[in-house]
Amino acid sequence: MRILITGGAGFIGSALVRHLIENTEHEVLNLDKLTYAGNLESLTSIASNSRYEFVQADIVDQAKVSAVLARFEPHAIMHLAAESHVDRSIDGPSDFIQTNIVGTYSLLEATRAYWSKLPAGEKEAFRFHHISTDEVYGDLHGVDDLFTETTPYAPSSPYSASKAASDHLVRAWQRTYGLPVLITNCSNNYGPFHFPEKLIPLVILNALKGKPLPVYGDGKQVRDWLFVEDHARALFKVVTEGKVGETYNIGGHNEQQNIDVVRSICALLDELAPQHPAGISQYAELITFVKDRPGHDLRYAIDASKIERELGWVPDETFQSGLRKTVQWYLDNQEWCRRVQDGSYQGERLGSTDPKDLIA
Ligand SMILES: NC(=O)c1ccc[n+]([C@@H]2O[C@H](COP(=O)([O-])OP(=O)(O)OC[C@H]3O[C@@H](n4cnc5c(N)ncnc54)[C@H](O)[C@@H]3O)[C@@H](O)[C@H]2O)c1
């Protein structure tokens, strides 16, 4: 197959691209705008493979996306491009509306024009796979409640509202135009190449520098963590074996309170990086509670039984094994982290050394 991936330079997208190139025979075109979250240095291991191609483009630019579709002639599109950080969506929702809603609309229209001209057999076999989040369901209050594929949408943040809107557009393009779509809603991912603004890499990197480890509110918010490579395998299963029109929830059965995640990272670092920064003898001494995020959801937890039952996917990693791999990866890949944190990953791409261009 020829698979077009949007957002393939991001955290999950790059794991998916690496998975497809390393473990399958498919051809991949990665279409990415390269916002601050896009990092081609996450793809160096496969960048020179003849089955891989990168195109810098904005999904909002329908003419450019249409030209790429006409040339590459994909059998499937896996749509991951999005603005994805909740805190940024609170500070400035505009980019989220633009990329997540307008961009998805634009991509759907370019795809519909391309798909509608395919010969009958190829038209039927074509797939548009939209990658979404469990945050569209809002939050859970009962300790045993789980999000299923039929849980009503109740998004809380500008980020999750924009993702919910994009899910609705994708479903409407199937109902109205017959586009063969699949939707997946996944819980919080973690793993290698995660941008250091997100909780797990932020805590690891701050701890190593002896900086405070910020925990929102009382830290009792529960998230259901999934190792990113397990997610990539699940996405490939869904695009190749999923039933058209269906939604699949993807989760790791790893519910953890944020404070416990931070404490687990500290314990792993005590073991794996025992030379503590000056002034502390245990990394947990750096934990600092900060004012809670507005609209902060209390608990997310996924019922992933449908994808397990129908497609036979289960995660390989437990939270303990995945977190150990993740902490070790950050210890072994300080150069990747340094280049993200000082902005040089982006400055060189822009061909600029002006400090204003290096600010993410
Ligand atoms: N990270 C998670 O825990 C998680 C969980 C569930 C679902 N998701 C969803 O998975 C997808 C990928 O998430 P991620 O964490 O890898 O995000 P990310 O922020 O790491 O990467 C997003 C990528 O999209 C690109 N992009 C942004 N705007 C674009 C545009 N207008 N045109 C083309 N490319 C653009 C960026 O350059 C970047 O490479 C998102 O749709 C997100 O909503 C993420």
Read off the pLDDT band of 71 (50, 70, 90). very high
- Do 200 and 194 meet the contact criterion of CB atoms below 8 Å apart? yes
Could you confirm whether 330 is annotated as catalytic? no
Q: pLDDT at residue 358 above 50?
A: no
Read off the pLDDT band of 346 (50, 70, 90). confident
Q: Could you report the per-residue pLDDT of 107-128, keeping only the tens digit for each?
A: 999 999 999 999 999 999 999 9
The residue ranges of every structural domain in the chain are: 2-195+225-255+299-319
pLDDT for the residue numbered 197: 83
Atom of ligand 1 nearest to the CA of 36: 37
Q: Choosing from 105, 159, 300, 330, which is the catalytic residue? A: 159
Q: pLDDT at residue 356 above 60?
A: no
Question: Which pTM was predicted?
Answer: 0.94
Q: Is 12 in the pocket of ligand 1 (CB under 6 A)?
A: yes
Q: Could you report the per-residue pLDDT of 171-184, keeping only the tens digit for each?
A: 999 999 999 999 99
Say what percent of the chain tops pLDDT 70. 96
Q: pLDDT at residue 140 above 80?
A: yes
Q: Could you report the per-residue pLDDT of 146-196, keeping only the tens digit for each?
A: 999 999 999 999 999 999 999 999 999 999 999 999 999 999 999 999 998
Q: Which two tokens stand for residue 23?
A: 């473990």
Residue identifier of the C-alpha nearest atom 41 of ligand 1: 80
Q: Could you report the per-residue pLDDT of 291-319, keeping only the tens digit for each?
A: 988 888 889 899 999 999 999 999 999 99
Strand positions, DSSP E, the chain: 2-6, 27-32, 52-56, 76-79, 127-133, 181-186, 189-190, 213-216, 222-224, 226-227, 247-250, 255-257, 287-290
Q: Does domain 2-195+225-255+299-319 have CATH number 3.40.50.720?
A: yes
